Amino acid sequence: MTTQAPRPHLPIGELLWAPVVHGVQLVPGGGDGTLIAAILCANPGTRGILFDTAEGLAQAPARLDEAGVADRCALSTGDFFRGVATGADYYLLKSVVHDWDDERAGVVLSHIRAAIPDRGRLLIIEPVLAEITTADGSPGLYLSDLNMLVNVGGRERTLEEFRHLCADSGFTLTRTVPLPPSTGFSIIEARPS
């Protein structure tokens, strides 16, 4: 297992736009629950489902309890390569898609498509590479792309590559919201096609 350098705190809970925060959120590959806890803290009317392997969820009960949201977040154990839990309005993937090549990422997205209601939304929080590299571009993202390829067989993607990956999995990319430049991330929104 490789460790990543710490990234600046992403205030995702505060950055998600209003329509997203009124419903049940499901975070596949959500690990210790840091992301879903931030969303639930910032949006008291929201409930969550944290989905990961048993090992991935090991620290989640303590994290959710510490954040005061354990009563609003169910834990669901599974493998997103075999399927994901149903019952959510929004499926949120952060730093998951770039861990995998297109085939494996497509499997995860296809399982989400099978589980998500037609009115639901998929939110992908990932770095987005520029379509054309410029001298003033972000070299860190390209180093991350190389790191993902060498260490786990994944890669960073351009917006057009995300568009194709989503389309191949039954989603239509609807918008992208860049997060603060210091984070290197964007929120990519897609809806079932």
Residues forming the active site: 98
Q: What gap in Å lies between CA 45 and CA 150, rounded to an integer?
A: 41
- Which of 49, 134, 121 is CA-nearest to residue 86? 49
Hey, is 159 helix, strand or coil? helix
Q: What gap in Å lies between CA 118 and CA 89, rounded to an integer?
A: 9
Q: What gap in Å lies between CA 125 and CA 94, rounded to an integer?
A: 5
